[in-house]
Chain A
Amino acid sequence: MESRAPAVVAVVVTTGPGPGLEVTLASLAAQDYEELSLLVIANGEHDNVTERVAAIAPKAFVRTLDENKGFGAACNEAALMVDGAAFFLFCHDDVRLETNVVQMMVEAAFRTNAGIVTPKVVQYEDPMVLVHVGQTSDRFGVVQERVDPGEIDHGQQDLERDVFVAPGGVTLVRYDLFTTLRGFDPLIPVLGEDLDLCWRAQVAGARVVVAPSAKVAHRQTIATGERTVSAVGTRRRSRQDLQRRHQLMVVATGWGRVTTLLTLPLLAAMDLFEFLIAIFSRDTDRAGAILSSWLWLFNNRKRIRERRRLRGQVQVLSDSELRRLQVGGASRLKRFATTLVREGLDRARGVLPEAENLQESISSGEDSGVGFAAAFSESEEFDEIGESDEISLRRRAGRILTSFRAQATAIIAVGVFWLIATRNLAVMPLPLVGRLAPLDSWWSTWRHFFASWSPNGVGTGSPGMPGYGVLGFAGTFVFGRMGILPRLALIFAIPAGSIGIARLLKNRVSNRARVIASIAYLAMPLGLNMISQGRIDVLLFVAAAPFIVRRLFELLAIPSFRDAAYPAPVQFGLQGWRGTEAGQRTILVMIIALVSAMAPATLIAVIVIFLGVSVARFFESDENASRVRPWRTLLSILGSVSIFLLPLTINVVFAGRRALETFGAARGTWASPSLGSLIRGADGNIGHSWAAWLLPLVGMLSFFVCQGIRRNIASKVAATATLSLILATLSLHHWMGPFTPDVDVLLALYMAMIALLIGLGVSALENDLRQAGFGWRQIFAGFLVSMLVISTAPFLLSSASGRFDLPANSVAQSLSSLAPSNSGSYRVLWLGDPTVLPVAGWSVAPGLAAATTMNGLPSGSTLFTPPDSSTSDVLLADVKLALQGRTVRLGSLLANMGISTIVVMNASSPELAGVQTVPLRPVPNTLSTSLRLQSDLALELKTASVEVYGNTKFTGLISATSNGSSPVPVVANIGIQGHLKMPASTNVHVVAGLAPAGAFALTVNGKTVPRSTAEGWTPKYQVGSVQGNENVELVLHQFPLNGLLALFTLGLWAIVWLGFGWIHRVEWLFNRRHRRVVVAVNESVENE
């Protein structure tokens, strides 16, 4: 049985001189397709066409039309002449087909059941350069290419696929479809007839397919201006004019009623906007084109109705189905906005340039408006080739930080800038603000860790806080120069955190994204505010947060952080154990424990991360999520940390209702930052400008531009950031009762998350946006980078002082002398907002914490306050009485505690107009009022920052009474312990304001005197008669339980540390030596 190929009629429409007609005909004549007929339509001017055709293709039919009514009308005329064909192949007269084009296109039509097939179109002069591989369109009829200008054909587009528009040149159309659609619309003679036909074809349910195996070279004589448009009705009309009005007609008749009602007003609004821009920039051509397109549409309103009626007759696809075949958004507006952002108005208004201009711009190698994302391309391979002019188009002058050299330069520059910005922190005397109390010596710091008694409050026998151990350990590395430690923290904590951010993003984003995220973290206002407030504890968390987050993400199997299971278990102590799940978890626990020792709210931050990941997974689960049991993991971590911080854990257990205060004391709501300030990280003086909004804004935008796995990570990060903010707000408003975790630690976590989002966002710019095609995200991209740059403004401004506004002096230091007139030891009671006090204290009420120091200013012995206030509750209760106005003799109440002075702080440092600005965080007004009314407190100093009251009832920390007389201070030779200088008298009682009462013993000539307790807690010693020459001593009389506990904790740390391969190494040393001995013995035996 004989099989015949479907008949194809090639319709070549030629107009005027037709410079490429012969080549076109020759290539058609050379087709290897058997059933191909050739019909040449001479449109209008037809001098010598018949002869020229006959010379090349003698079998071709020629039809001459008297008038050039346009390409579409000519094709319609040809269709009338044909009967029995299966396909039309509509050709311009300036194309050159490879010999198999018709065959390939027909095959593709049958293979894909397409109604319209378009070939791969390449440049006429350089077939390596792609021109069209089909086109697409948006809902407003704006056609977009699927290839970049000058894109080299590497076969990257050789995939048969649906397209929305088959660009004119060579188009294969099924005969029946063409008939159904009633051919081209004669109202659209040129520039838009292809869009119109394809649009209607798809409404009728036909597919439009590109067949890349069919390759056609197109000279584009009209598009390049080689020939002018000469059809009837198009004379004196610019290309822009024609293109616009035809697009408008297609849109006005291409949609159903509802979609038209939505689309046309939108298009009108955008055209109005473009019209105004054109007027503003004196672009009269564009303005005229816009105006005339709408007038033309109005004038052809009858035709609109007719077209809509025809559409209704053939419609198969709904509007929503048709919409899915198009690209989203408004292409022209996007291109305008992008170009405007990138290159300014002059270029932007030329978004739709004339073909001549486009060609010029291509030839001159100027930017062709591929998009902003291209400027962020990681790959620079094309830049390095440089042989082709077209290839050079891909060069982007805006590429920044892509090379190692550029990144290294940026890092060094930022590093140098940071050192300059912190220059004064290295040398200035550190003020007594925040947690900058001068540290004791290395040895004393260790002693505080092991101490059986500490002077906090009225004294406590609680275990030494692990923070002392951390400081002592850190002091080892600076050879005991403890003064260096706070400076190191102030200067290097934030850069360390930045490095952590870079590590966190390693292998997940490009180096450039890592650099940008790290710089963003460096510039976050919160860290700078913590420097200005001397919050060493928070700074430590700022440094550690990225490391903690990375390890937690690995543990939680966040995609790209850990996509595979951990290595097989290795025995504890052997090399390789570190890489196992147990080893990794132990490292994480140790980091958390170290930081928690200084800033216990770290544990809350860890919980927030778990919550954030869980919330994100609730909305979108990960593939690996089932491998992890987050809450069990969390409990395991918290449990392990509690063991590593055993002294603190025991303290918390015994703290009762104060246990929750371990994580932070309640701040006054009246001086708390607003949610807006929290979002900016402006908990202090830095970050209140509008520029500080930009980094969070960039983070938020990043969340929306990320795709794929980056989006997966970003969702966890965004959830964690949001939860941090919410928890911080709840904490500031005390909506969780006594649970008020340190807001600054939560904000530090939030800031780390923002930096992470920024890194992911930059990576999204580099990858996702390019893949997504140019869309609304790219418009954000321009803003995003601008904002990143502007957001560094507060950082730059705050660096001028060389110390990030850390005060040069403090309120505490400005108090010339706190010593009472009578000699002996004494205590100072510090009252103020927890963030203002220069020493950690216990919360009395929201916005009011209380702490005591011995013999003056805070020192290294009161750096940490145990959560368990124990006997100091007496002190706190008395302060609370005053706060509530329920006592008028606070001085008397505090006298037996040895408190000589009360310092009420409203700010951490004095306000010096023009020199030093400090945030005011006043104590509750009722406290100030109450203290003023006390009958036994004398106001000694009052400024906006501080009020100092002297206690007129003060009788010394250690006092003696004899025969019922008034108590007199007893002077101790060394601090509170040591020899007491007792006045000669009879029936002497010594009262010491030291708790717990059982911790101290009074000996007279080596003999312990009886002790009783006064007022429920004060040790009272019955000395009896004193001659004045006795050896009276007050000695600490406590079993060293705390020391043993500290020793056990240290031992635990050491054993776990050895587990990281050190045990194996030690064994290896022995084994190797053993092997050597064995080998030597064997050798000697062999020799013998």
Chain B
Amino acid sequence: MNNLRRLPLAAALGAALVLTAIVSMTFTGSNPSQFASGALEASNAESTALHCSGLTSSSVTFFNTTSEAHKISITWITSSGSGGSSTSKLAAHAHWRISEFGKGSVFAVEAEINGGGVVASVDGANGLQSTCSSVGTTSWYGAGFDTKVGSTGELSIYNPTATAAVFNVSTFTAKGFNAPASFQGLSVGAHKLLVVDLGTRLVNTTNIGVHVKVLRGSLEIVGIQKSGSIISYFPGQNQPNVQNWFPLVTTENKAAAQLRFANPSANPISVTVKISLPPYSVQPQTVIVAPFNVESITITPNTAIPANGFAFVSSSSSSPLLTTLALGTSKGIMLNAPASPASSLLMANFNASPVSRVVITNVSKQNVVVNSSPLPGSQSTSRTSKISLKAGETVQVNLLNEQSGQIFSTERNVLLVTAAFTTTPAGTALLSNLNSR
């Protein structure tokens, strides 16, 4: 027998093995870390939950975005431990507003829904608006809190699970890192609410950065910044980012707008802020944030930036950084967290205040087409349309009437939708996406 006859077989087996090796190395599997979250994506869910924490004198509106009725059971609890419950059946595309939570300074509301596709908005006076969350977190960051005289910075921490949660709170201020002993090893029982007043350990301090690390369980955390008569719900961030976008930053006279940074790392971070305010050209501003420290850049009032309506502001830093936009007037400020780009965003206005401007932004370097459609069942008068957005472009779209909603969607996670309530001066209160948390 000819020994060379082994070669074709060897070649075939070798080729098959090499091919297998190449393909297996090319397509390596990874452990899925994210499932479809948010109300819209969970429309086929068996059950969902919404947690709204940090409520004071506000109302919560539940909106059924699906064409099926859902039973909704809500439970509320105050920081003092009292609470109550209520049940309702939410018809298709119907909404349910509830504002009677009994007595107490801070509330948390937990809603359990048979099915999915229900969103909730927290609304209050002076353009106060926030979104209820569907998932808890194990790591929470916030920046820009004030405990100056007349201001209160608090963390409203609700445990939506059956597990007693344990967490630590650490802070960053102009004086550096601080982990007050009384903020370590804090515990909050299952389905209980705890309010942490930052002012008890950081007296008369401005621009406080906060990190909450959950050691056990998961928590729904909201920052409550009371500034004079102004209250803002600050949803915070799960992790610091390198790049942040703020499409609607007011430059109006008598308005105040400030970017507040907190560095949660042990290295100094350089952050550059670009301000787009056509037809004016504004030089980028750069600041270095020391380790475990805070910094800020004032957009308004700023002599280098003309007062000309809304500016598009973006920040990029050398390392992940906490960034917060503080908007307001001399009466007080509201804290706004940067929005994360998404592929599908729902804007709905259940607040008494009308909306003065809505913009959509493409943060990618490629052109995209955005589908805009009215939220079924809402009182929106707009029609379904397609909007072409160039790379990095921001365009203004139809205004949102009260009780109306609009869904914006594109193919990739490159979309930002920002809306501003009608205020004086303009742009001191922003509207949050309902499915952004």
Contacts and interface: CB of A to CB of B under 8 A. Distances in A.
Nearest to A718: B13
A contact patch SS: helix
B1 A722 contact: no
Contact of B162 (A672, A711, A846, A936): A936
Contact of B161 (A668, A671, A934, A942): A934
A243 B247 CA distance: 88
Contact of A726 (B6, B20, B163, B190): B20
Interface in B18-48: 20-21, 24-25, 27-37, 42, 44-48
Interface string B38-66: 00001011111100000000000000000
A935 B17 contact: no
A885 B42 contact: yes
A886 B25 CA distance: 32
Contacts of B17: 722, 725-726
Interface string B248-263: 0000000000000000
Contacts of A238: none
Nearest to B11: A619
B46 A891 contact: no
B9 A675 contact: no
Nearest to B17: A722
A680 B6 CA distance: 24
B5 interface: yes
A887 B45 contact: yes
A886 B161 contact: no
Contact of B16 (A722, A885, A939): A722
A930 B46 CA distance: 13
Interface string A910-922: 0000000000001
B218 A938 contact: no
Chain A contact residues (Cβ within 8 angstroms of B): what range?
Answer: 35 or more
A889 B24 CA distance: 38
Interface string A649-684: 000000000000000000011111011000000000
B279 interface: no
Given A674-B24, A886-B44, A886-B45, A934 B32 contact: no
A619 B33 contact: no
A272 B40 CA distance: 74
A882 B136 CA distance: 15
B368 to A, nearest CB: 27
B124 interface: no
Nearest to B190: A938
A670 B160 contact: no
B381 to A, nearest CB: 34
Contact of A711 (B6, B13, B49): B6
Given A711-B6, A719-B13, A934-B162, A889 B112 contact: yes
Interface in B109-166: 110, 112, 116, 135-136, 138, 160-164
B33 A925 contact: yes
B218 A932 contact: yes
Given A675-B20, A886-B45, A668 B29 contact: yes
Contact of A935 (B3, B8, B45, B112): B112
Contacts of A893: 46
A221 interface: no
B112 A733 contact: no
B291 interface: no
Interface in B372-394: none
B9 A616 contact: yes
Nearest to B8: A619
A991 to B, nearest CB: 20
B162 A719 contact: no
Contacts of B29: 668-670, 672, 733, 846
Interface in A245-260: none
Nearest to A674: B24
A680 to B, nearest CB: 14
A27 interface: no
A939 B217 contact: yes
Contact of A926 (B13, B34, B45, B48): B34
B304 interface: no
Nearest to B215: A942
B191 interface: yes
A331 interface: no
Nearest to B35: A885
A712 B136 CA distance: 64
Nearest to A936: B162
B9 A888 contact: no
B9 A719 contact: yes
B1 A937 contact: no
Contacts of A672: 29
Contacts of A23: none
Interface stretch (A46-54, A564-572, A702-710): A702-710
B48 A884 contact: no
A729 interface: yes
A846 B31 CA distance: 10
Nearest to A722: B13
A620 interface: yes
B36 A884 contact: yes
A939 B13 contact: no
Contacts of A939: 161, 163, 216-217
A707 B29 CA distance: 41
A240 B17 CA distance: 48
Contact of A885 (B27, B36, B163, B191): B36
A886 B47 CA distance: 6
A822 to B, nearest CB: 16
A881 interface: yes
Contacts of A886: 42, 44-48, 116
B266 interface: no
A894 to B, nearest CB: 12
Contact of B112 (A669, A885, A888): A888
B3 A881 contact: no
A932 B161 contact: yes
Contact of A715 (B6, B31, B110, B162): B6
Contacts of A703: 6, 10
Contacts of B25: 674-675
A669 B45 contact: no
A670 B28 CA distance: 8
B24 A733 contact: yes
B265 to A, nearest CB: 24
A749 to B, nearest CB: 15
B1 A708 contact: yes
Most buried by A among B10, B160, B218: B10
Nearest to A772: B3
Interface string B379-413: 00000000000000000000000000000000000
A620 B6 contact: yes
A933 interface: yes
A935 B191 contact: yes
Contacts of B216: 939, 942
A726 B44 CA distance: 38
A827 B42 CA distance: 30
Interface in A859-897: 881, 883-889, 891, 893
A924 B45 contact: no
Contacts of B16: 722, 726
Nearest to B135: A933
Contacts of B116: 886
A722 B20 CA distance: 10
B20 A933 contact: no
Given A675-B24, A933-B218, A619 B161 contact: no
15 contacts: A668-B29, A708-B1, A712-B1, A719-B9, A885-B35, A885-B36, A887-B46, A891-B162, A924-B31, A925-B31, A926-B35, A932-B138, A933-B161, A933-B218, A935-B161
Given A924-B32, A929-B135, 8 more contacts: A670-B30, A704-B6, A719-B9, A733-B27, A885-B35, A886-B116, A926-B32, A935-B191
Interface of B: 1, 3, 5-6, 8-10, 12-13, 16-17, 20-21, 24-25, 27-37, 42, 44-49, 110, 112, 116, 135-136, 138, 160-164, 190-191, 216-218
